[in-house]
Amino acid sequence: MTHAATATQPDSGEIFLELHDLHKSFGPNHVLRGIDLSVHRGQIFTLLGGSGTGKSVLLKHIIGLLHPDRGRVCVEGAEVTDLRERDWVEVRKHIGFVFQGAALFDSLSVLENVAYALREHLHLTPQEIRLRVAACLESVGLVGIEHLMPAELSGGMRKRVGVARAIALEPSAVLYDEPTTGLDPANSKRIGQLIVDLRARLGVTSIIVTHDLDLCFAISDRIALLENGRLVAEGTPDEIRSSPREDVQAFLDGGSDLEADDVWLGRDGEDADGA
Ligand SMILES: Nc1ncnc2c1ncn2[C@@H]1O[C@H](COP(=O)(O)OP(=O)(O)O)[C@@H](O)[C@H]1O
Ligand SMILES: [Mg+2]
């Protein structure tokens, strides 16, 4: 693995991701309105923001599932903004993605879910695949569940299998979209520990989108808040906590009560927080 050297130096100073003046609209909906961001290799970076502010849209630009209307995306020092689809496949081999809801293939066993990218990209024997899948499952604390189907797993296990699948190709970075939504505090903590372990063991860069302020402040090196299409604040956990900006403080006061996206949906003008 190429990134092992950074394992003891979480922040190598080397830039993993850069976004320059990123804009994205869907029809009249101008979602991203000029995002500038850089994430260093080995960093744990968390993007906060209310529901529908464009957090998932931003993540999808990093792996070419969406393309910007304006601006640039650079991954590991190379500009990827205008890559052709077949070149994106190459970039995605280095970036694991844990989708919102930990979407697993329901008709495939845990083994086949985790092995999916291995079969697609590497020429391994069935025995090598089994060993690699077992190692990935072990690193997320799940042993001997290869034969189970997604429907047989708890929510926490499904998320962890989603992480095992994302790390199967030994990526240099993993993107997590709402990795703890719907999990109880114990399982949320476990996911956080897993993210920290991956960085410690393999120097993995992590970019996390979440509503979970406990997770965010427990593990992040840097935090940004997305609001009205822009990053209105960016800094260390201490800098964000002590931000003089009212919108940042309002988010921190209200955000911790949000368990899931739908808390904010369809409740226009209504205060999500009764306490
Ligand atoms: N593929 C798409 N086509 C049209 N609109 C989209 C698409 N993806 C996201 N949007 C819109 O972009 C906005 C931001 O969405 P999203 O990034 O999913 O928000 P969140 O911050 O909750 O992750 C929403 O208004 C959503 O409806
Ligand atoms: Mg989202």
Tokens representing 62 are 């990093």
In this structure, the residue with its CA closest to atom 17 of ligand 1 is: 54
Q: From atom 24 of ligand 1, which residue's Cα is the shortest distance away?
A: 52
pTM over 0.95: no
The residue ranges of every structural domain in the chain are 4-13+43-65+84-258
Q: What is the pLDDT of residues 217-246, one digit of tens each?
A: 999 999 999 999 999 999 999 999 999 999
Tell me which ligand sits closest to the C-alpha of residue 50: 1
Bridge partners of 227, per DSSP, are 230
pLDDT at 45 over 60: yes
- What distance in angstroms lies between residue 32's CA and the mean position of ligand 2's atoms? 13
Taking 50 as the threshold, does the pLDDT of residue 158 lie above it?
A: yes
Architecture of domain 4-13+43-65+84-258: 3-Layer(aba) Sandwich (3.40)
pLDDT digits (tens, 9 = 90+) for 94-142: 999 998 876 899 999 999 999 998 998 899 999 999 999 999 999 888 9
Measuring CA to CA, which residue among 85, 86, 31, 96 is closest to residue 58? 31
Ligand 2 mean position to 47 CA, how many Å?
11
Q: How far apart are CA 61 and CA 25, in angstroms?
A: 13
Going by alpha carbons, the residue nearest to atom 9 of ligand 1 is 57
Structure confidence at residue 43 (pLDDT): 97
Nearest bound ligand to CA 178?
A: 2
**How far is residue 85's CA from residue 90's CA, in Å, rounded to a whole number?**
9
Where does ligand 1 bind, in terms of residues with CB under 6 Å?
26, 29, 31, 49, 51-57, 261
Using a pLDDT cut of 70, give the percent of the chain over it.
88
Please measure the distance between the N-terminal and C-terminal CA atoms of the chain and give it in whole angstroms: 48
Average pLDDT over residues 61-67: 95
Q: Which residue has the higher pLDDT, 252 or 7?
A: 252
Say which amino acid occupies 104: L
Does residue 8 carry a pLDDT above 50? Answer: no
Rounded Cα gap, residues 62 and 69, in angstroms: 14
Q: Cα of 137 to ligand 2 centre, how many Å?
A: 26
Output the residue whose Cα is nearest ligand 1's atom 20: 52
Residue 51 Cα: closest atom of ligand 1:
22
Instruction: Return phi, psi of residue 146, to 5°.
Output: -55, -35
For ligand 1, the distance from its centroid to the CA atom of residue 230, given in whole angstroms, is 15
